[in-house]
Amino acid sequence: MDRKKKEVTIYDIAEKLNVSAATVSRALRNHPAVSAKTKKRINDLAESFGYQTNQFARNLRQQQTKTIGVIVPRLNSYFMATVISGIEHVANEAGYNLLISQSSELPDRENAIAKTMFNNRVDGVLVSLSYLTGSLQHFNRFSQKNIPVIFFDRTFETEIYTNIRINNLQAGYDATKHLLEKGCRRILHVSVSSTHSIYQERFKGYAKALQEFGIPLHMDYVHLGDLSLEAGIRAAQYALELPQRPDGIFVANDNCAAGCIIALKKAGIRIPEDIAIVGFNDDPVCRIVEPNLTTIHYPGYEMGKIAAHNLINQLSGSESLILTQTISLRSDLIVRQALN
């Protein structure tokens, strides 16, 4: 390894200044039990030496890494970028680093990432699950060592971890009710075949709204795909092939809704006059697609901040008992498709 030069250590500084390494160590961390004068001498020399603390030695000694692992299904959505910004904001302030990885919606990748992060001794983990993750057992390794794991957005029913999400039932209800109030009576619900309750909750909200309006629930009016833009195009085809064409569609994701709109318009359907559409997330695409998409605003940035806060609290808390809970954030309907 001839590439790396020798590092400057606290011993080098100590020797030069005729103090002990312990004092240097303390001074560098601004420990109160060091005189202002020595602190200054030490810090000045450290600066001029270009000294950098060796995090490994520190980690090894302190048994903690000041690193938080973040596992998300995909990095390429506006929503995720927003959540991560929120996480970064809080983590940086508290002096934590982030180790970010994407599972690409692959449960196996998710497992591999969890293992890697575990081996790298992250202090805690923030996770949004892939669609098809069927169990949480790959996170057992963390819980066994009392390493906190918090799930956000794509969560899974659990007793032992904290979940942070929005009230998906309410959101699904609001979205569907909006369509009903606009006069829609045959509402298609486009979602994903996922193991996560959040999609089931959105469906329940949909069902609840229908029920309130005395409209029977038909499973023909529930179409499952992968919520991609392409899936939206397929959903549109499905909608048009239905014996009774829908007059409203509630899509569980904006990009998918955009695909839907495009395909429907290509088929000569007028939006929202013939079919009104509501999406989910409040992605920038809502303002690009025409007509602009009515959607559920999802507080991604806040979710990220809250998730990080919560995790860091658990980390710094003296409590050995981790209190698990479900935190629910508010989400609101944003109306954009003017009808009538």
Residues that bind DNA (CB under 7 A): 6-7, 9-11, 18-23, 25-26, 28-29, 32-35, 37-38, 51-54, 57-58, 60-63
Return the DSSP state at 225.
Answer: E
Phi and psi angles of residue 106, each rounded to the nearest 5 degrees, phi first: -105, 115
Does the protein bind a copy of itself through residue 146 (CB under 8 A)? yes
Select from 9, 38, 43, 53 the one that contacts a copy of itself (CB under 8 A). 53
Which does residue 32 bind out of DNA, a copy of itself, none, counting CB within 5 to 8 angstroms by kind?
A: DNA
Its sign, for the CA torsion 67, 71, 76, 81, is negative
**Cα(340)–Cα(322) distance, integer angstroms:** 52
Select from 166, 175, 278, 289 the one that contacts a copy of itself (CB under 8 A). 289
Does the protein bind a copy of itself through residue 320 (CB under 8 A)? yes
Select from 15, 22, 31, 64 the one that contacts a copy of itself (CB under 8 A). 64
Does the protein bind a copy of itself through residue 65 (CB under 8 A)? yes
**Cα(200)–Cα(131) distance, integer angstroms:** 12
Taking the least distance from each CB to a copy of itself, the nearer of 77 and 195 is 77
Q: Single out the segment in contact with a copy of itself by CB under 8 A; choices: 23-31, 71-79, 212-220, 274-282.
A: 71-79
CB atoms within 10 A of CB 111: 16
Return the DSSP state at 90.
Answer: H
Select from 262, 329, 334, 339 the one that contacts a copy of itself (CB under 8 A). 262
Which does residue 219 bind out of DNA, a copy of itself, none, counting CB within 5 to 8 angstroms by kind?
A: none
Element (H, E) at 174: helix 168-181
Secondary structure E strands in the chain = 67-72, 97-102, 124-127, 149-152, 162-166, 187-192, 222-225, 248-251, 276-278, 295-297, 326-329, 332-334
Does the protein bind a copy of itself through residue 57 (CB under 8 A)? yes
Which does residue 47 bind out of a copy of itself, DNA, none, counting CB within 5 to 8 angstroms by kind?
A: none
Select from 98, 180, 242, 329 the one that contacts a copy of itself (CB under 8 A). 98
Element (H, E) at 207: helix 197-212
Q: By the 8 A CB rule, do 175 and 205 touch? A: yes
**Cα(111)–Cα(116) distance, integer angstroms:** 9
Phi and psi angles of residue 290, each rounded to the nearest 5 degrees, phi first: -120, 130
Closest distance to a copy of itself from the beta carbon of 290 (Å): 6
Question: What residue ranges bind a copy of itself (CB under 8 A)?
Answer: 1-5, 50, 52-57, 59-60, 63-65, 74-78, 80-82, 84-85, 88, 92, 97-102, 104, 112, 116, 118-121, 141, 144-146, 229, 255, 258-259, 262, 284-285, 287-290, 320
